[in-house]
A = this chain, B = another copy of it.
Amino acid sequence: MPSQRIPMQKRVPLSPASPNCSTCVLGHVCVPIGMAAADVRQLDTLVQERVRLPKGTILYTQNDMLDAVYSVRYGSLKTQIEDAAGQVQITGFNLPGEMIGLDGMLEGHHVSTAIATEDAEVCVIRLSQIDQVASQLPSLQHQMRRLMSRELGRSYQLLASLGSMRSDQRLAGFLLNLSQRYATLGYSSTEFVLRMGREEIGNYLGLTLETTSRLFSRFARENLISVHQRDVRLLDIPALKQLVGQDTC
């Protein structure tokens, strides 16, 4: 499959009269994270547009000229890059409250592609609007740097995973990471449905879909998890953590 099917880019702007940052339920995990309440109120003009994305829709593609970043409001997306040979590498899965498109800050083009893995909606944060709000709220510039810095750290973690871990350690780390993110969102940290298929997980972790499937089966056989299709329950988190942590030497 050299270049997969290209879903139509269907962007549906919403009316601006919707909940804003200071009243958003995701306030504690999204852009305002860690900011003073008084400052958060000034963020209310930051998002002037939202986009609803049916499953499979592209938010932006490599080389797109969009000068904005996005935060997930509901649903989930994946970001991936595609090299000249058509080889795809998924670089991240994004849950509500998480930022997307930070690699597009080159004010010109993105280096990755973002696709909805299920029906989703994102807040559009225009770069020009960031500057405008920041002129009255200087700490917003710090905040943006923090968010980018966090994303950079996240990608370094993934690098470490791909570079020096065995397949089972990578999957265990992936599951634990999801668990923690769901907990942050207020969902169960031990029981959740995967938003992505085996092939996507495998690609993300640098494995094939067969290896991924086998690992799910093995983890279940060893009573670390129970799994039916995309429904996952973590049964022995300490054991999973030990698996990730133990030295590969």
Q: Is A149 a contact of B103 with CB atoms below 8 Å? A: yes
Number of residues from A at the complex interface, CB < 8 A: 51
Most chain B beta carbons < 10 A, residue from A89, A163, A247: A163
- Indicate if A151 sits at the interface (CB-CB under 8 A): yes
1/0 contact string of A80-113 vs chain B (CB within 8 Å): 0101111111010000000000111111000110
The answer to the question of A131 belonging to the interface, with a C-beta cut-off of 8 Å to chain B, is: yes
Q: Quote the shortest CB–CB distance from A163 to chain B (angstroms).
A: 4
Judged by DSSP, the binding face of A is helix
Q: What is the total number of copies of this protein in its complex?
A: 2
Q: Kindly identify, within residues 38 to 82 of chain A, every residue whose CB is under 8 Å from any CB belonging to chain B.
A: 81
Q: Which chain A residues have a beta carbon within 8 Å of chain B's beta carbons? A: 2, 81, 83-89, 91, 102-107, 111-112, 127, 131, 134, 138, 141-142, 144-146, 148-153, 155-160, 162-165, 203-206, 245-248
Residues in chain B near residue A144, CB distance under 8 A: 145
- In whole angstroms, what is the CA distance A231 to B157 when docked? 31
Which residues on the B side are within 8 Å of A160 (C-beta)? 81, 83, 87, 89, 91
Query: In the complex, A221 Cα to B158 Cα: how many Å?
Result: 34
Instruction: Report the separation of the CA atoms of residues A103 and B157 in the bound assembly, to the nearest whole angstrom.
Output: 12
Q: A86, A155, A245: which has the most chain B beta carbons within 10 Å?
A: A155
Q: Find out whether the CB atom of A148 lies under 8 angstroms from the CB atom of B146.
A: no
A164 → B minimal CB distance (Å)? 5
| Nearest-neighbor residue (CB-CB) of A158 within chain B | B159
B158 touches A248 (CB 8 A): no
Q: Tell me the bound Cα distance from A144 to B141 in angstroms.
A: 10
